[in-house]
Every structure is written in structure tokens, then in C-alpha cells.
Amino acid sequence: MAEIRVVTVGQGGVGKSATVIYLLRGIFIETYDPTIEDLHRKQMRVDGFAYMLAILDTAGQEEFSAMQGEWFSTGEGFVLMYAINDRKSFDGCKKLRQRIYQAKDLKMDEFTIIVVGNKADLEEEREVSKEEGQALATESGSPFFEVSAKEGSNVVEVFEAVVRGVEKIRKNKAEEEELTPKRSPSFGSLRRSTIGKLSSGRGDDVQQPTNGKDKTKKFCTLL
């Protein structure tokens, strides 16, 4: 099963954990230790295919934990979250997005960011308009959702968008690599095309993407 590494990013208190817990268990947890940085796994079916989401729910954004450093550089999907009733959390998103860009070395074609305004149930306390949220998302070509972990609205849709975004990146990358002319057939290219022909879809042989050249083989098996 294809695995996708997802990272939640956002100021403390915006509801990252509540959103992830809702995805995992379908319930709203009122209080979740704000200092806990947790790794979760969730199987999801999107567009007829099964994926294993490995989700790092980050905590404490002031300094990178060792885990965050590693996940920012290897993560493929980023859920960038603010709360619609907290302007400061929205303003902080640009800086956090910058952190993602830095960690990824600006390789924009290797990851997807989904912009999320949480606590949509608190309409009467709204400080950030939908249009502002959408504009932030448009800047980075990201999908945008307003969600409520409390009511469970749009939570699943966010993670489906992560999967679709990552899947698109993987396909583009695989196509690019297939189209790149090769000077002489190397062991690697022969192996790639063989794998491409033999592969019948997303089998259990699909490994977790790592980095570097390894990806080629794995992406080809996804075609």
C-alpha cells in the first residue's frame, strides 16, 4: 500500500490534534495535551485506492524538534492550519509556510500544502474571512478548506486533498522521468521500464517513498 507522509503545521491551539483525532476516531476531543507531538497511522481509501497515511501531529512550533526536522524534509503533504477566530494564527501561517519551503529546499514539485482554517463552528468569533484564507492558499497553489474538528465538517476532505495532491506529484514525477532521454541504457533505466510494464497497480510491493533516485522505481510501480 502506498504510504504518504503528512505533517500538521500551525500555531499551538489552532486544533491540529483535534483535527487529526477526528480523522482517526471520528470524535472530538476537547482537551489534548498541547505539548504532545505524535505520530499516527491511518488507512484511507481515496478514488478507489488504499493509502496509508503516516501523520506527524506537531507541537511547539518555536523550535524544530529532531522529529520535525526530519519530517519537514521528508514529508510530502503539509496541512497548514490556523483558526478562523484567531488572526494571529493566520498571520503566523506565512512564516510557517516559509519553514516548509526552507526544509524542502524550495523543491516545490515534491510536496503539497493544504491550507486549513479550523474552528469554522465559531462563526460569531470569526477574525479571518474565507476570502483571506483562500488568498493565502492561492499564493501557494494550495487547496483551501474551512473545517471544524468539533463538528467534524470537512476533516476527511482535507486529508483526501492531501492524498490527491501527493498522488499528482508522484504521477508528474514518474512521467517526467519516463520522458527524460537517456544517453545509454543503464541498469537503472532497464529496470525501471521492466517494473513499469510488470506492475499491475498499487500492490503491497509499493514501498514508502524515501528520497533521491530510489523514488523512480517506487513511483513507476504506482502508474
Q: Return the residue of 3, 24, 32, 156 that touches ligand GDP, per CB under 6 A.
A: 32
Q: Which of 125, 118, 126 is nearest to 152 (CA)?
A: 118
First-residue to last-residue Cα distance in the chain: 13
Question: Is residue 31 close enough to count as binding ligand GDP by CB under 6 A?
Answer: yes
Min separation Cβ 116 and ligand GDP, Å: 10
Helices assigned H by DSSP within 75-206: 87-103, 130-139, 155-179, 187-198
Secondary structure letter of residue 39 according to DSSP: E
3-state SS assignment for residue 223? coil
Question: Is residue 89 close enough to count as binding Mg ion by CB under 5 A?
Answer: no
Whichever of 86 and 167 has its CB closer to Mg ion, that residue is: 86
Do residues 149 and 159 lie in contact, with contact meaning Cβ atoms separated by under 8 Å? no
Q: Return the residue of 121, 146, 160, 167 that touches ligand GDP, per CB under 6 A.
A: 121
Do residues 5 and 76 lie in contact, with contact meaning Cβ atoms separated by under 8 Å? yes
Do residues 16 and 37 lie in contact, with contact meaning Cβ atoms separated by under 8 Å? no
Question: Is residue 149 close enough to count as binding ligand GDP by CB under 6 A?
Answer: yes
d(CA 215, CA 218): 5
Question: Is residue 150 close enough to count as binding ligand GDP by CB under 6 A?
Answer: yes
Residue type, 24: L
The partner in contact with residue 5, picked from Mg ion, ligand GDP, none with C-beta cut-offs of 5 to 8 angstroms by kind, is none
Min separation Cβ 90 and ligand GDP, Å: 13
For residue 80, list its beta bridge partners.
9, 115
Whichever of 37 and 132 has its CB closer to ligand GDP, that residue is: 37
Min separation Cβ 30 and ligand GDP, Å: 4
Q: Return the residue of 9, 14, 79, 162 that touches ligand GDP, per CB under 6 A.
A: 14
Question: Is residue 24 close enough to count as binding ligand GDP by CB under 6 A?
Answer: no
Binding mask 44-73 for ligand GDP (x = CB under 6 A): ------------------------------
Whichever of 5 and 16 has its CB closer to ligand GDP, that residue is: 16
d(CA 162, CA 198): 28
Phi, psi of 183 (to 5 degrees): -65, -50
Question: Is residue 13 close enough to count as binding ligand GDP by CB under 6 A?
Answer: yes
Q: Are strands 2-10 and 77-83 parallel, antiparallel or unpaired?
A: parallel
Q: Which spans of this chain sit near Mg ion (rule: CB under 5 A)?
A: 16-17, 59
Q: Which spans of this chain sit near ligand GDP (rule: CB under 6 A)?
A: 10, 12-18, 30-32, 34, 118-119, 121-122, 148-150
